[in-house]
Chain A
Amino acid sequence: MSTVTFDERRRALGFCIYCWTTMLLLAVLVWACFAYLSLDWSLLFSGESAGYMVQFIQRFFPPDLSSEFLQRIAKGTLETLAISALGTLLAAAVGLFLALPAAGRLGGLPKAATRFFLNFLRSVPELVWAALMVMAAGLGPFAGTLALALHTTGVLGRLFAESLENVPSQPTQALVESGASPSLAFVYGTLPSITPQLIAYSMYRWEMNIRMATVLGFVGAGGLGQMLYYELSLLHEAQASSVIIAMLILVVFVDAISAWIRRRQMRPGG
């Protein structure tokens, strides 16, 4: 007969003091959060405010579907797509450029400096960049493009640098040893093996940026967001709800396409 150690018995009984303390701590923290915010629940659950909410929602229906307004929405959607595409493209170009020092190809000091710079770009949210860029470049989609480009450069630069660090160095070395210049060796030895990865990362960020570009307009950086903000501040709820529906369709559409592409890639030979 084998002896059952204390530890085994404790585990069998399902008692884990670590887990329970963590759970308790979490519960206290959550309670503290609600207490700190002191939310007014009556606002949400009283009959009076429910009536008010219904009235509020009713004002959004029916959405404005006049052809004139739909044309403006189409224009806004196109603008949103252009902002996201250009922002991502700019970021991919600058990101690749900065990835070289960030991957340590130019020595230790440039590596640390670029990494810090990329981290900084990445840590400032897109919307904050947008608010700053509206100041620097004026209202409009150009500010949104710059804002997306700045944040995405930080993200892509880091990802690109990681790909560069993980790429096998033999092809490049072989080229250098047979007399190619370092830049040519990079273009023909390193770049081809990371290109698929670079494209995959950029596409993934583009997808996220489309979603982001729809809301950057809240601070005046163009696209559908700016339309929504404008219509809502004029209390044009019917128009606002059309813009929201357009955003929803855009986001769902992008989601579906990217899911479809991912499924195709996962299928062997697809």
Chain B
Amino acid sequence: MPDSLSQPATRDPDAIRRASWILGALLLMWPLLHIAQFRPAELFDSRNLAVMGGFVGGFFPPVLTTEFLSLTLKATIETLAMATAGVVLALLIAAPLGLVLSHSLSISRIGPGPGRGTGEAVRTLSRFTLLLLRGIPEIVWALLLVRAFGLGPAAGVLAIAITYGGMLGKVYAEILEAGDTRPARVLLEAGSGRLMAFFYGLLPGAAQELASYTVYRWECAVRASVIMGFVGAGGLGQLMDQSMKMLNGGEVSTILVIFLLLVLLADAISVGLRKLLA
């Protein structure tokens, strides 16, 4: 507009819109603050300050006795083993369900024929199963399984297997559908079985992506199994939970450092493996 060009605006031309956005957001936030019992003053409550101060004060120096370090080393290996075993078991769930779910291996899709209804029913059922497995967070599974199998890593391994089985199965099916599905289709049309069509028609094109995603999930599983111990499912988390309950700051800071190193290590391994695959 020529008017505004000759006369430089002295205030924000968008001010009203911006102000109404901020006002709306604040109005929305008010009940949220109330529900979440947002009371920053509690942080400075003298009792809380004393507990927290004593605890954090104990962070230095970290406990570095050989006895405690060997304990944490054992827990660290246990954490890694839990994640790895969990992901391997998850594969046992994910691979068959992923294959069942993938439309690119559907014979009934090729043409009208018998079995279409059954095929869709099985597919819906397996999709629902995967949704149920991954819809419940892994730590909830762990909390339940600890009650069934007792304290220790078994519950953690199974919890990871269940949740990650659900995640991997869904993503596997998606990967198999997203790539070039024509070879598999040709094989199916020529009369080969589903498994053969998968091995010769789909796997060569999708293997790298499947493996890469599995490695990425392993990295996530390491992070998950680190905290699994807070509900009693073994590993570093359990050790940390104990040290926290005893308000032993020195032990907690040692475990925290190992936490960070472990996550970094898993990250590096995952990135390295995925580069190797690319």
A34 CB contact (under 8 Å) in B43, B85, B244, B256: B85
Interface residue? A58 (CB, 8 A): no
A251 CB contact (under 8 Å) in B37, B135, B147, B263: B135
| In the complex, chain B residues whose CB is within 8 Å of the CB of A125 | 223, 226-227, 259
Interface residue? A124 (CB, 8 A): yes
Main DSSP-derived SS at the A contact region: helix
User: Is there an interface contact between B143 and A232, defined as CB atoms closer than 8 Å?
Assistant: yes
User: Is there an interface contact between A127 and B276, defined as CB atoms closer than 8 Å?
Assistant: no
User: Is there an interface contact between B256 and A36, defined as CB atoms closer than 8 Å?
Assistant: no
Interface residue? A91 (CB, 8 A): no
Known contacts A33-B81, A86-B33, A125-B227, A142 near B39 by CB under 8 Å: yes
By the criterion of a CB under 8 Å from any partner CB, how many residues of chain A are at the interface?
55
User: Is there an interface contact between A215 and B154, defined as CB atoms closer than 8 Å?
Assistant: no
User: Is there an interface contact between B143 and A131, defined as CB atoms closer than 8 Å?
Assistant: no
Task: Say how far B65's CB is from chain A's closest CB, in angstroms.
Answer: 22
| Cα A73 to Cα B151 with chains together (Å) | 28
User: Is there an interface contact between A37 and B132, defined as CB atoms closer than 8 Å?
Assistant: no
Task: Say how far A15's CB is from chain B's closest CB, in angstroms.
Answer: 16
Interface residue? B153 (CB, 8 A): yes
Known contacts A37-B157, A89-B29, A123 near B42 by CB under 8 Å: no
Task: Say how far A8's CB is from chain B's closest CB, in angstroms.
Answer: 18
Known contacts A86-B36, A142-B37, A219-B230, A39 near B157 by CB under 8 Å: yes
User: Is there an interface contact between B256 and A128, defined as CB atoms closer than 8 Å?
Assistant: yes
Task: Say how far B74's CB is from chain A's closest CB, in angstroms.
Answer: 9
| Cα A152 to Cα B88 with chains together (Å) | 30
B52 CB contact (under 8 Å) in A29, A136, A211: A136
Known contacts A39-B154, A131-B230, A145 near B36 by CB under 8 Å: yes
One digit per residue, 1 when the CB lies within 8 angstroms of any chain B CB and 0 when it does not, for chain A 138-154 equals: 10111011000000000
Which residues between 238 and 260 of chain B lie within 8 Å of chain A, taking CB atoms? 240-241, 244, 256, 259-260
By the criterion of a CB under 8 Å from any partner CB, how many residues of chain B are at the interface?
55
Q: Pick from B135, B148, B158, B264 the residue with the most CB of A within 10 Å.
A: B135
Q: Pick from B37, B39, B139, B241 the residue with the most CB of A within 10 Å.
A: B37
B78 CB contact (under 8 Å) in A36, A82, A214, A232: A36
Interface residue? A181 (CB, 8 A): no
User: Is there an interface contact between A79 and B154, defined as CB atoms closer than 8 Å?
Assistant: no
Known contacts A86-B33, A131-B241, A123 near B227 by CB under 8 Å: no
Interface residue? A137 (CB, 8 A): yes
User: Is there an interface contact between A145 and B154, defined as CB atoms closer than 8 Å?
Assistant: no
Which residues between 47 and 69 of chain A lie within 8 Å of chain B, taking CB atoms? 52-53, 56
User: Is there an interface contact between B37 and A36, defined as CB atoms closer than 8 Å?
Assistant: no
Task: Say how far B233's CB is from chain A's closest CB, in angstroms.
Answer: 11
Known contacts A135-B55, A244-B136, A141 near B85 by CB under 8 Å: no
| In the complex, chain B residues whose CB is within 8 Å of the CB of A40 | 154
Interface residue? B268 (CB, 8 A): no
| In the complex, chain B residues whose CB is within 8 Å of the CB of A160 | none
One digit per residue, 1 when the CB lies within 8 angstroms of any chain B CB and 0 when it does not, for chain A 79-117 equals: 100110110010000000000000000000000000000
User: Is there an interface contact between B32 and A218, defined as CB atoms closer than 8 Å?
Assistant: no
B153 CB contact (under 8 Å) in A39, A145, A225, A248: A39
Interface residue? A5 (CB, 8 A): no
Interface residue? B73 (CB, 8 A): no
Task: Say how far B32's CB is from chain A's closest CB, in angstroms.
Answer: 5
Q: Pick from B35, B147, B237 the residue with the most CB of A within 10 Å.
A: B35
Interface residue? B126 (CB, 8 A): no
| Cα A138 to Cα B276 with chains together (Å) | 47
Closest 4 CB pairs of A and B: A82-B35, A33-B81, A82-B36, A33-B84
**Interface positions of B (Cβ within 8 A of A):** 29, 31-33, 35-39, 42-43, 45, 48, 51-52, 55, 77-78, 80-82, 84-85, 88, 131-132, 135-137, 139-140, 143-144, 147-149, 153-154, 157-158, 223, 226-227, 230-231, 237, 240-241, 244, 256, 259-260, 263-264, 276
Could you give 19 example pairs across A and B, Cβ below 8 Å?
A: A30-B84, A30-B88, A32-B81, A33-B81, A33-B82, A86-B32, A127-B237, A128-B240, A135-B51, A135-B55, A136-B48, A137-B42, A138-B45, A140-B37, A142-B38, A215-B139, A218-B231, A228-B140, A252-B135
